[in-house]
Chains A and B, each alone.
Chain A
Amino acid sequence: MSTDTLDAGVRMSGAPHGPAPRRGPAAAVAVRLARITGRTASAASWLVVAVGAIAMIVPFCWMLGVAFRTSADLYADPARLLPDQWTLHGVHAVLSQLPFGRLVLNTFVFAGGTTLLLLLFDSMTAFALARLRFRGQNVLFVLILATLMVPFQVTLVPVFLTLFHLGWLNSYQGLIVPRATSALGIFLLRQAFLALPRDLDDAARIDGASNFGLYWRIILPNAKPALASLFIIQFAALWNDFLWPLVVTNDIRMQTLPAALTLFSSQSGVDHAALMAGAAISLAPLAIAFLLLQRFFVQGVATSGIR
């Protein structure tokens, strides 16, 4: 670690040493002492941060290791992170013990389908709220915001009953349609659309654009970063969603990865390699997307709080 870093550390850390006094040899010694303790504290805190960072990654390395180890190897020496001998046994086992391809497909259809519909419907509503004028506009916006305060669990029981009466339990439409709009998405996109200059609308109107033309060809293309952020975080949230798919589906052929893996993991005598291979595969798409598109993730998460 360079001295530059350490200095920066002292400057940024907020380590408690007071303003530098300018008089007396005793004071000078005190300042030097404070600087030395400051540097030690800074180095120590960097160490803690680095150890913490390793602790963030180790469980995932271990998961990958177990996924590619034999059971005997694991029981013989559980303290090792990586396998002695790599084997695809775990991957084969999870593919044969669960309808794994079907689960991956279900999760893609649920997360992808819902996110695309949500982006369409939320952006249409946000466009009308931000760029058009109509009676009841403000009341509507306040009502949409009000639904944000109510936790999802409140609506869960009646929605379950509705889906039951529609015969939509254990179906894609049951998984997707009730989640295909979100008050938070409307709110975030409305903010993004309001930030676009009004001149865009005027120019489009002069060219004879209808409301739809304005929405589709002017507003949407100009709000691409906001739409991309919302897409990524919504897709991730739905891909990881547990309670909703758990309630709507109980047939293994219609379940999504999180629900199926949880139920699989609670079976006694579960094959560790199979379980960890399943967990690793279910994590892979988001992990890859995250490493490639970290900026969009960060932006979306920081502004919305969706998780």
Chain B
Amino acid sequence: MSSAPIGAARHPVSSAPRRRRHLNSAYLFVAPSIILIGVFIAEPIVASGWMSLHDWTVGEATHKFVGLANYTTLFGDSRFWNALRVTVLYTAVVAVGQVVLGLGIALRLRRTTWYSALVRTAYFFPFIASLVVVGIVWKFMLDPQVGLVDAWLSDVGISPPDWLQSTSLALPTVIVVGIWKNVGFTIIVLLASLQQVPAEQYEAATLDGAGAWHRFRAVTLPALRPALLFTTLIATVTGLQLFDLVFSMTGGGPVFHTESVVMYLYQKGFVEFQLGYASAIAWVLFAIILVVSVIQLKVSRYRDVD
């Protein structure tokens, strides 16, 4: 606690000794975070780039510098291209599905009544469950022997396919579960944004003779644009980092048909311990995420000017 005169306290800049104490304590406040970010985020980012230029396998005494060899190997690696295809397909369909469905549902639920509150809670609920619990529960929901989905389908006379063992159906199934899990997020974000649209704007539009579709185009959509961009961006970035859901639902199978980029990274880095190669995968993923985010931000800004 300071006993400095009131004047000095109110105008710290005016007194030199007081100012130095001020500086010191500010640095103390930021120190813990800065040390942690330095040691566990900033330095590892640099180290990861450096490691990606090496043949860095755990257990070997020296790590040979190989330049960009990990990257050239990666670009010729068919398992990587497969993982990239799976990841991009998952991301694109889930992001679009989640935002379109989320928008439709949010518009239905914007009025606060007891049943819309109940329905909202239902839609939010899968969102708080971990992807792991979701993956495990759905894996057994789709089980041919004990699964609810297959049992219900059989009851109505449809013979169910073997969802997660089929090379053509496994990825679509994972995608549907991804949308099921994430649609609540979009609804949360859009409802929060819808609450801020002033009712007068709708009244004004109605007085001008605008129909429902017109009001949607002229009032609702512009007001929702930032929220739509936000949820699309988040959906894309998290989609590209797909891991938990496929790990727990399919383990990447059948025969790599649902293996994502991060799953491949995990396999290379933490099962085979090829840390250089895994780092290269991480940097390519980083580049893809960066490019996709910048494109989305650019496109949205271009539309704003329009």
Q: Which residues of A are interface residues toward B (Cβ below 8 A)? A: 5, 8-20, 38, 45-46, 49-50, 52-60, 62-63, 66, 74-75, 77-79, 81, 120-122, 124-125, 127-129, 132-135, 137, 140, 143-144, 147, 149-162, 177-181, 183, 186, 202, 205-206, 208-213, 215, 236, 239-243, 246-247, 258-259, 261-262, 265-266, 272, 275-276, 279, 282-283, 286-287, 290-291, 294, 297-299, 301-302, 305, 307
Contact = CB atoms under 8 A, between A and B. Distances in A.
Given A125-B29, A158-B47, A181 B36 contact: yes
Given A66-B140, A206-B9, A12 B108 contact: yes
Nearest to A152: B241
**Among the interface residues A78, A180, A246, A307, which one has the most CB atoms of the partner chain B within 10 A?**
A78
Contacts of B135: 262
Interface of B: 1-4, 6, 9-10, 22-23, 25-27, 29-30, 32-34, 36-37, 39-45, 47-48, 51, 101, 104-105, 107-111, 113, 118-119, 121-141, 145-148, 150-152, 154-155, 180, 184-185, 188-189, 191-193, 209-217, 220, 230, 234, 237-238, 241, 243-244, 247-248, 251, 262, 265-266, 269-270, 275, 278-279, 282-283, 285-286, 289-290, 293
Contact of B133 (A9, A179, A261): A261
A287 to B, nearest CB: 7
Contact of A121 (B36, B119, B269): B36
Contact of B26 (A8, A132, A149): A132
A14 B107 contact: yes
A18 B216 CA distance: 11
- CB-CB nearest 10 A-B residue pairs: A240-B130, A14-B216, A79-B151, A158-B44, A128-B29, A155-B44, A134-B26, A53-B122, A158-B47, A302-B192
A58 B124 contact: no
A305 B262 CA distance: 20
Task: Determine the main DSSP class of B at the interface with A.
Answer: helix
B45 A49 contact: no
Contact of B132 (A74, A151, A242, A286): A242
B147 A124 contact: no
16 contacts: A12-B111, A17-B211, A20-B209, A54-B122, A56-B126, A62-B148, A121-B33, A124-B29, A124-B30, A127-B29, A128-B27, A157-B278, A181-B33, A210-B1, A246-B266, A258-B244
